[in-house]
Structure 1
């Protein structure tokens, strides 16, 4: 069992630092990324041979108190993201709104939700635009970051809509996300981002992030 292997490799000093870094929101075993990748490697290699994504495996890991187990679940899902099906959007939504913090949300948004929306573009109208106005801040952040890795495939009309829905939000994680997605897109389309920044009243944080490469 992966949890037993992780417990055997716990590091209390690392755990204190990692917990503090995440504002004491989660318990940690103190296993840093390189060791985590090493410890999970064989298990995920075997799991990757399965035809379907093992949602029970993901849920099991998500239910553990130690944050590293959620990271293992995400490492697994990212490796298996090509196997995601349209109906998995609701499964992914449950992960977004449970044990939510930027460390899981950003991977889920850019890799999993992004992958689903590329494969099933209709999900943007069916889910993402609604999420951009949801009362749950992490669903809104997800909606903003969904196209983070789309580059030339970015749908600017959608990007504009999800940003406009949140442009007056004072939440740090929302303002940061707006700036981040604009900054990334500026690497592909500097002109569009420049015009958007000029024509919209972004927060100072969002504008600073967005303008980094302009």
Structure 2
């Protein structure tokens, strides 16, 4: 396993490694799929995951003290795969992450934001930290939901996606009511997604909430999609 003197050397080598595996032809449809908002190297998700596994096998992850620097440098690059690689490195250290990482995560959410990065940062990184540090919710997601900033609000709506029976329904439903009059597509979809996930744990409560709230047709349709599928299958569908 090759080691590097510092985060700068490690990050430069990783970027060279990824760029060497780019495919200009494949980049064209990838950029089109993301509405030409970002440049791409042309490395599809399965290939990128395989490349990162091989990189980690050969070089390991960045040292703990250099992780933030590596992530920030990768995030600053024009190619979208660099941001995906940064999220992969964060994922490797997810169990070690604590409240001290929340400012960095907020920075990443607000930098080059789109659903492909924000949703994973919300449900994996922010959600993981706040599951273990409930006391931090008041100073983060409670503030973000009132910020009026699209991607921070979406993060606040989605951070509990994997919580199941540990979902703080008071916060979830309160956040949804706060955003229920939003005309933003990504907010309406997030409302539906969050409710759909919780319906797999407590469908009756979700249906009762929908009946009491003024939600957009899109949010309601998304929220009930899994429940209606289960109903149509006689309750036999396992989500």
Work out the CA distance in 1 between the residues paired with 2:34 and 2:182: 22
**1:119 correspondence with 2:132:** yes
Work out the CA distance in 2 between the residues paired with 1:6 and 1:87: 29
Cα–Cα, structure 1 residues 49 and 56, in superposed 2: closer, same or farther, change >3 Å?
closer
Moved over 4 A (4+): 48-53
> Who wins on radius of gyration, i.e. which is larger?
2
1:43-54 matches, cutoff 5 A: 43-45=55-57, 46-48=59-61, 50=63, 54=67
> CA-to-partner distance for each residue in 1:139-174, whole Å, 9 max, x for gaps?
000000010110011010010111111110000000
RMSD of aligned Cα (Å): 1.4
Work out the CA distance in 1 between the residues paired with 2:126 and 2:95: 11
Aligned match for 2:113, one of 100, 106, 109: 100
Q: Name the residue aligned to 2:102.
A: 89
Aligned match for 1:150, one of 145, 159, 163: 163
Alpha-carbon deviation of 1:35?
A: 1.3
**1:57 correspondence with 2:58:** no
**1:27 correspondence with 2:39:** yes
Q: Name the residue aligned to 2:150.
A: 137
Q: TM-score, normalised by structure 2?
A: 0.86
Q: Secondary structure at the match of 2:201?
A: coil
Work out the CA distance in 2 between the residues paired with 1:52 and 1:203: 45
**1:69 correspondence with 2:88:** no
Alpha-carbon deviation of 1:14?
A: 1.3
Work out the CA distance in 2 between the residues paired with 1:66 and 1:49: 20
Contact 2:62 2:70 in 1 (8 A): no
Q: Secondary structure at the match of 1:19?
A: helix
**1:171 correspondence with 2:184:** yes
Work out the CA distance in 1 between the residues paired with 2:125 and 2:165: 18
Task: Tell me how many residue pairs correspond in the alignment.
Answer: 214
Work out the CA distance in 1 between the residues paired with 2:119 and 2:14: 24
Aligned match for 2:141, one of 121, 125, 128: 128
**1:7 correspondence with 2:19:** yes
Q: Secondary structure at the match of 2:180?
A: coil
**1:208 correspondence with 2:221:** yes
- Structure 1 residues not aligned, in runs of 5+: none
